């Protein structure tokens, strides 16, 4: 179970995170408020939270508050919450044809769903010592240990089974807009796929009456039929509505239902998933990121648990809604679909689609729109276009080293990437700001995520040495500062993964206070608390053989959204930003910081 940290540990960690962001006077005030909270109302709330947690052993203390946080948010899901991960191309180039890849990935996705529902999906396990535990011998032994004791057996060899309670929401699921708080909806009985093309909506069954998957050649035939449909794009594409403010969308959805669209919307909401077929090829990585993160607004349904997007040249990616689950579940799905569709593809470029009557099997959904709905769609499109217009996406690839070299120098690759982000921001804006790094707590029952706070007194000191005081430090001094940062970051990461961060605990206490109608404690009214939670640098990382790159929008209007990957011999980084920040320049500063750090670790003297 996810532990509730000790209150004194949380306050100590909170103050450590505040220190690099505040002046001495500001820090003294925040410290005083924190200790008062710890001894007073905070202690009461903490005891109530622990008692509540003990009465709810089937879940975790963060589950309710976290769902609330996502589902009560009224901002549009696109750019604010939905993230994307794009697939690597199929190694066999002729399989990157849009129809072939769409068929193979759809088949693999359904295979994954059926395997999961039948209880045959291999458990998700984090192996600290893969050579000991990620072996056939271990699997054979653990298979026969009763489940009440098997996790203990896994712990003995440093293998940690991860929570998979989010997985069922991958399929047949959607987020429904409701006034004040949205709802998650799942209908596992539905057998159809939703396909979007040119803003038109199509559905066809992919599972038959006996629960078996349709033949791949039939799925291919239906997709071919959709790809060759000459229907024009609708004048009022419904997809834009899912990009609206949630309360606005909730009202418009009610109008849609009242206007005779109940059956069509039910098909959209309950579909196995949404397959979006785009009519253009991808030009470059920046275009790829824009396509997968937001697209044109007409050919997406942002409320579905995920959209599988495939462009004209067979480039594929996933855009996923975030309230139901985290990157871990989506990544497992993506890894399996990539592996299955490339290693054992269901159809080949030589395959012939089945000779079936697709015009009968495929239903094009027709929506009845009155003037108010048409006006709503027009307004949603204008807002969407304006927001997307203001979003910049930029990226770099650093090829002067990666994980291998950093491990050889005994420093943490993640710590070095995070140090570069701090150093770059100091170089560009001359300050240290609130920074967020996401860390999964899936090692616990109903765990979600915890925050690592990468901006520390150590990164600040090291960044200042590199950016402002280079002449005062020898290469050896600088190396020591990097090692110091690496050790501290390693400790923060370990604490977060073990459920020993401070962010979720403080969030849970605040949620408890507001749910009980208690006045908001003074601690939470501190400007420093607000500033720490205004995450100007928001970061997230993943590396997988299936994923080419991933990204998300800035979480605040004056922030950067930083998606990064530290590979064996190179580092990839992409940054999203709005006009108040210059993402291109920030990336140049990140590149310079990485260059300096790597040169210092190699023992080279660097110039300013």
* pLDDT of 38 over the 90 cut: yes
pLDDT one-digit tens code per residue, 301-317: 999 999 999 999 999 99
Query: Of 529, 568, 536, 541, which is closest to residue 439 (Cα–Cα)?
Result: 541
Is the torsion defined by CA of 488, 494, 496, 500 positive or negative? negative
Query: What integer pLDDT is reported at residue 453 of this predicted model?
Result: 98
Mind listing the pLDDT tens digit for each residue in 386-397?
Answer: 999 999 999 999
Q: What is the mean pLDDT of the chain?
A: 96
Three-class secondary structure of residue 438 per DSSP: strand
The arithmetic mean of pLDDT across residues 153-177, rounded, is 93
Tens digits of residue pLDDT in 531-568: 999 999 999 998 899 999 999 999 999 999 999 999 99
- Between 475 and 151, where is the model more confident? 475
Answer whether residue 130 shows pLDDT above 90: no
Are 200 and 229 within 8 A, CB to CB? Answer: yes
* pLDDT score for 114: 98
Average pLDDT over residues 412-433: 98
Range 265-290 average pLDDT: 98
The reported pLDDT for the residue numbered 252 is: 98
Question: What tens digit of pLDDT does each residue of 346-385 get?
Answer: 999 999 999 999 999 999 999 999 999 999 999 999 999 9
- Confidence at 514, pLDDT banded by 50, 70, 90: very high
pLDDT the model gives residue 347: 98
Q: What is the pLDDT of residue 608?
A: 59
**Per-residue model confidence as pLDDT tens digits over 90-101:** 999 999 999 999
- Calpha distance 63→69 (Å, rounded): 10
Contact 596, 607 (CB under 8 A): no
For the chain, list the domains and their CATH numbers.
7-68+392-602 (3.30.559.10), 80-102+171-330+362-389 (3.30.559.70), 125-161 (1.20.1280.180)
Catalytic machinery residues: 322
Span 161-179, average pLDDT: 96
Evaluate if residue 338 carries a pLDDT over 90: yes
Choose among 574, 565, 523: nearest CA to 546: 565
Q: Report the Cα 362 to chain-centroid distance in Å.
A: 32
pLDDT digits (tens, 9 = 90+) for 220-252: 999 999 999 999 999 999 999 999 999 999 999
What's the CA gap between 596 and 604, in Å, rounded? 9
pLDDT at 152: 82
Query: Is the confidence at residue 520, as pLDDT, over 80?
Result: yes
Q: Are 602 and 438 in contact (CB under 8 A)?
A: no
* pLDDT, position 16: 98
């Amino acid at each position: 179970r996810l532990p509730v940290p000790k209150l004194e540990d949380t306050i100590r960690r909170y103050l450590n995170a505040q220190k690099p962001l505040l002046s001495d006077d500001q820090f003294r005030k925040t410290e005083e408020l924190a200790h008062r909270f710890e001894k007073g109302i905070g202690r009461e709330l903490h005891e109530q939270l622990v008692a509540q947690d003990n009465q709810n052993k089937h879940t975790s203390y963060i589950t309710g508050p976290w769902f609330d946080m996502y589902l009560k948010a009224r901002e549009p899901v696109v750019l604010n919450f939905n993230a994307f991960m794009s697939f690597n191309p199929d190694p066999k180039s002729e399989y990157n044809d849009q129809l072939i890849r769409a068929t193979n990935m759809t088949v693999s996705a359904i295979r994954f769903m059926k395997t999961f529902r039948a209880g045959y999906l291999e458990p998700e396990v984090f192996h600290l010592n893969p050579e000991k535990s990620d072996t056939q011998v271990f699997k054979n032994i653990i298979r026969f240990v009763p489940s009440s004791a098997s996790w203990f057996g896994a712990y003995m060899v440093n293998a940690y089974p991860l929570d998979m309670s989010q997985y069922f929401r991958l399929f047949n699921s959607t987020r429904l807009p409701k006034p004040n708080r949205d709802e998650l909806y799942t209908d596992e009985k539905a057998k159809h796929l939703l396909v979007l093309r040119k803003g038109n909506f199509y559905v066809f069954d992919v599972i038959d009456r006996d629960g078996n998957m349709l033949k791949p050649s039939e799925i291919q035939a239906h997709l071919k039929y959709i790809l060759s449909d000459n229907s024009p794009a609708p004048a009022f594409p419904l997809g834009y509505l899912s990009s609206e403010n949630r309360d606005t969308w909730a009202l418009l959805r009610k109008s849609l239902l009242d206007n005779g669209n109940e059956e069509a919307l039910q098909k959209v909401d309950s579909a196995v998933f949404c397959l979006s077929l785009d009519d253009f090829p991808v030009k470059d990585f920046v275009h790829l990121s824009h396509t997968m993160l937001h697209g044109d607004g007409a050919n997406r349904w942002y409320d579905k648990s995920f959209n599988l997007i495939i462009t004209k040249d067979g480039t594929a990616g996933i855009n996923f809604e975030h309230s139901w689950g985290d990157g871990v579940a989506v990544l497992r799905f993506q890894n399996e679909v990539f592996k299955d569709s490339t290693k054992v593809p269901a159809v080949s470029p030589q395959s012939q689609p089945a000779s079936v009557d697709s015009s009968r099997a495929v239903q094009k959904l027709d929506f009845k729109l009155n003037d108010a709905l048409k006006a709503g769609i027009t307004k949603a499109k204008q807002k969407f276009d304006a927001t997307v217009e203001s979003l910049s996406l930029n990226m770099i690839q650093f090829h002067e080293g990666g994980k291998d070299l950093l491990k050889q120098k005994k420093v943490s690759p993640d710590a070095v990437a995070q140090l570069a982000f701090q150093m770059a921001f100091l170089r560009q804006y001359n300050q240290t700001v609130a920074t967020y790094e996401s860390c999964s707590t899936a090692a616990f029952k109903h765990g979600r995520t915890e925050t690592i706070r990468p901006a520390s007194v150590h990164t600040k000191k090291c960044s200042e040495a590199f950016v402002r005081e280079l002449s005062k430090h020898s290469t050896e001094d600088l190396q020591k500062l990097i090692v110091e940062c690496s050790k501290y970051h390693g400790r923060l990461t370990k604490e977060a993964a073990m459920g020993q961060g401070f962010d979720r605990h403080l969030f849970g206490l605040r949620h408890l206070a507001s749910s009980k109608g208690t006045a908001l404690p003074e601690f939470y009214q501190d400007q420093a608390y607000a500033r720490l939670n205004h995450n100007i640098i928001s970061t997230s990382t993943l590396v997988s053989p299936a994923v080419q790159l991933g990204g998300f929008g800035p979480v605040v209007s004056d922030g950067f959204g930083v998606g990064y990957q530290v590979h064996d011999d190179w580092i990839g980084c992409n940054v999203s930003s709005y006009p108040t920040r210059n993402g291109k320049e920030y990336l140049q500063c990140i590149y310079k910081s990485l260059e300096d750090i790597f040169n210092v670790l190699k023992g080279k003297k660097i110039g300013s």
